[in-house]
Amino acid sequence: MSLKLTTRQVGDVVIVDAAGRITLGEGSSAFRDTIKDLVNKGHKKILVNLGEVTYIDSSGIGELVSGYTTVSNAGGQMKLLNLTKRVHDLLQITKLYTVFEVFDDEAKALASF
């Protein structure tokens, strides 16, 4: 399954619902383009919902980091929601758990911005 990305706005936060695989190629470039597009439109509070992401390779992890940097450099915040165990494990292995703010409850995530 390739990556499907949909966005919805709750207050001043944009939630990016991702589903499928974020891997080198189409998946990672689609994610990158979505985040850049949101930043270019002036959005500064972005919550990435990874609950339906079944697989993310090291390139996809790189795109998460790149997105985080892009949003931060624009004066905004990008946070993560609903990690699967596998994505959680990858963030532990790569120490990115120390970088990202991660939530498993959407309401709490929204309130944190």
Binding mask of the shown chain, residues 6 to 35, with x at each position contacting other proteins by CB under 8 A: -----------------xxx----------
How many helices (H) and strands (E) in the chain?
4, 5
User: What phi, psi does 3 have (nearest 5°)?
Assistant: -85, 135
Shortest Å distance, C-beta 18 to other proteins: 18
Q: How far apart are CA 100 and CA 81, in angstroms?
A: 10
Q: Which stretch binds other proteins (CB under 8 A): 37-45, 53-61, 75-83, 105-113?
A: 53-61
Q: Which residues contact 1 (CB under 8 A, 6 or more apart)?
A: 19, 20, 21, 54
- Regarding beta strands 4-10 and 13-22, do their DSSP bridges make them parallel or antiparallel, or are they unpaired? antiparallel
Which of 10, 93, 105, 108 binds other proteins (CB under 8 A)? It is 93
Shortest Å distance, C-beta 78 to other proteins: 12
Residues that bind other proteins (CB under 8 A): 23-25, 57-59, 61-63, 65-66, 68-69, 86, 90, 93-96, 98-99
